[in-house]
Amino acid sequence: MNILDKIIADKRKEVALKKQLISSRDLTRFPLFERKTTSLSNALKSSKSGIIAEHKRRSPSKSVINQDLNVQDVARGYQKAGVCGMSVLTDAKYFGGSLDDLILARASVNTPLLRKEFIIDEYQLLEAKANGADVILLIAAVLSRDEIKKLSQFAQSLHLEVLLEVHNLEELEKSLMPSLDMLGVNNRNLKNFEVNTNISKVLSENIPSEFVKVSESGISTVEVIEDLKKYGYRGFLIGENFMRTNDPGKNAAEFIAQLEK
């Protein structure tokens, strides 16, 4: 069993327990559930930089990244820097995140927020909406085509945008459907954690133009982004590059300033 299989097995147990603690109906009564969401895809289309900055404390591949910063400061710093959106890790066991991080980020900024999570159940979409998310992530590697369709259509009904993440052509081809807003190519192999941005380049020609293209992982320089833009990418998810510093917002601002020259 690889790390991705372990994460999903644990996630199924976690979701089952959460359903016993807070019902789906209760989630629809949360104050934030009626909040009007903000479009990340539109922000990316109109941006020169296309940066989606991430709050991530740790990961299975890199262990501790940064445990010392609070999410409110990071969120405000990112918004001040002019990012298009913010990705918030909510998995606790493997990434040190929580839904509290999402709530605190929402309370701090108006930036579009992506709930970055291993989503396997509609319940998690209700959680996302109830806790202030604008966008949800679906990972093709852990979902069937029918599951992607069901989850993405349910997300649409909640006015949540969908970023679908793929790692290879097979995942991409099974995933294309109208209920997606953005197609993300993760340059990190989730099974062995190797990173190669050429994956984004290779898959770019197979992504239809109606989807906003997003490249994820392994993006640490302005040159890499300028190169990927040539392949039609409008969004660039960056986490560790900013989070490994003492001031992610300042680092993001300097990075974006270079991009917008």
Cite the active site residues: 54, 56, 116, 165, 186, 216-217
Name residue, tokens 């300097």: 254
DSSP state, 103? H
In this structure, the number of other CB atoms found within 10 A of the CB of residue 1 comes to: 7
Q: What letter represents residue 137's amino acid?
A: L
Nearest to 124 by CA among 9, 38, 24: 24
Characterise 56 by phi-psi region: left (phi > 0), alpha (psi -120 to 50), beta (else).
beta
Which pair of structure tokens corresponds to residue 86?
């913010």
Identify the helix (H) or strand (E) that includes residue 53.
strand 51-55
Nearest to 135 by CA among 40, 31, 27: 40
Dist CA 257 CA 261 (whole Å): 6
| Helix 122-130, helix 3-21: angle, nearest 10 | 70
Dist CA 217 CA 235 (whole Å): 12
